[in-house]
Amino acid sequence: MDTASLYNSIQPRYPELCGQVAIVTGSSRGIGKGIAIRLAREGMKVVINSRTAEAVQAVAAELSELGADVLAVPGDISRSEDVDRLFEKTLNAFGTVDLLVNNAADLRRYHFFEVDEALLDYELAANIRGPYICSHRAAEVMREHRQGNIIHISSVGGLRAHWRGLPYDVTKGAIDAMTRAMALELSVYGIRVNAIAPGAIRTERTPAPEDPRIQAISQRIPLGRFGLPLEIGAAVAFLASPDAAYITGQVIYVDGGITAQLSPPGQPL
């Protein structure tokens, strides 16, 4: 489905979010784009961000044509100067930040002996340091109003290791720990911090559902299918809403039941 069809398929459910400001890093495609579409449909002012300027501008243009209030700010969150520019432009345009979604990440996974120091350093910078610095900048704004939400996008790999999961799974485990630690420290300022851990999600880069590889994976998922970016967006909208006002420091698994099972069907231990 194209952006317009996805946008129009959503029934807004949280009127309290309308007019609030959300930054979604890594939102030019995949899960991040799905989150941005959902938040825009809820009436939020959404900042679109990723490393690719053309893709950022394209998504912002698509949502703007649908009536959404969006701002395009390209940048690499592994770079402090890009994070500073992201927040400077957001505050200049919208005056505040109500929600930060730390979605941007380097997804590469290799065998232990194939991971060189350059890859390790970049994933630590992009997947841990970047979200930490973004959270710090956001919390500085949110504590002035004594309210706000920070939502990290983690992974099932933070709880259970992928086969060939390094160094990605290491960084997602750190995100889970960071979620809990930040939640405790920022609660005094009225800031809630949670994480969402997606399982197998179908994005632009996923082969078609009828592909034998996708069918084989789907058979190992309790709900029998890949998730959709909009389903992660729905979880983000809920956690940002007043309905989740008593939830903080949690990692919510949106994974079709993957982490609940000890072994997939037909492969008992």
Active site residues: 168
Alpha helices in the chain (DSSP H): 3-9, 30-41, 53-65, 80-94, 117-124, 130-145, 168-186, 212-218, 229-240
Contact present, 87 and 47 (Cβ < 8 Å): no
Residues paired with residue 167 on neighbouring β-strands, in sequence order: 109
Looking at residue 115, the DSSP 8-state letter turns out to be: -
Give how far Cα 14 sits from Cα of 106, 235, 240, 245, Å.
31, 12, 9, 13
Dihedral of the alpha carbons of 257, 262, 263, 265, in degrees to the nearest 10: -50
Contacts of 216 (CB under 8 A, 6+ apart): none
- Rounded CA gap, 154 and 149, in Å? 16
Nearest to 131 by CA among 1, 267, 26, 268: 26
- Rounded CA gap, 269 and 256, in Å? 21
